[in-house]
Amino acid sequence: MTDKTTSATVLVIEDNPLNMELVCDILDSYNYRVLRSERAEPGISLAQEHLPDLVIMDISLPGMDGLTATRLLRSDPNTRNIPVLALTAGAMRGDERRALAAGCDSYISKPFEIDVLLREIERLLSNRLREGTS
Ligand code: MN
């Protein structure tokens, strides 16, 4: 991890408690600032309020799903450039394609390896740093 990325703020939107704990524990241990929401609507509010550096978005959520939430983030000028990393169900064929079509930058299929998740987080954050404030 580089110093630049360790202070980044990551918003996790995930309804599964075990997955939420796993992802947040990983982020905590690498000194990311973590915001969390178990549902899409309050998650979008958190994104608008805090403008995190990255959103990790579960696709399957009760009520509004992660695809709809991603489209809403993309339609708001304030949040449209925040990278979104989708957590997709590997068994659900087409989930990955739908995630990208909705505007997610990339996806990780569940169950995922911790190393894979961390690498993808770092990659998306470094893209964002390279692009500067645009
Ligand atoms: Mn879920």
The predicted structure's pLDDT at residue 7: 83
List pLDDT tens digits, range 50-102: 999 999 999 999 999 999 999 999 999 999 999 999 999 877 778 899 999 99
Vertex 31 angle, CA 119 and 127, to 5°: 40
Ligand 1 centre to CA of 58 (Å) is 6
pLDDT at 128 over 90: no
Ligand 1 centre to CA of 3 (Å) is 31
- CB atoms within 5 A of ion ligand 1 belong to 15-16, 58, 60
In order, the DSSP letters of 70-103 are HHHHHHSTTTTTS-EEEEEETTSTTHHHHHHHTT
Q: What percent of the chain has pLDDT over 90?
A: 82
The predicted structure's pLDDT at residue 132: 59
* Domain at 9-131: CATH architecture: 3-Layer(aba) Sandwich (3.40)
Alpha-carbon distance of 27 to 23, in angstroms, equals 6
The predicted structure's pLDDT at residue 134: 47
Q: Where are the domains of the chain?
A: 9-131
Ligand 1 centre to CA of 16 (Å) is 5
Least Cα distance to 46 among 11, 74, 73, 14 occurs for 11
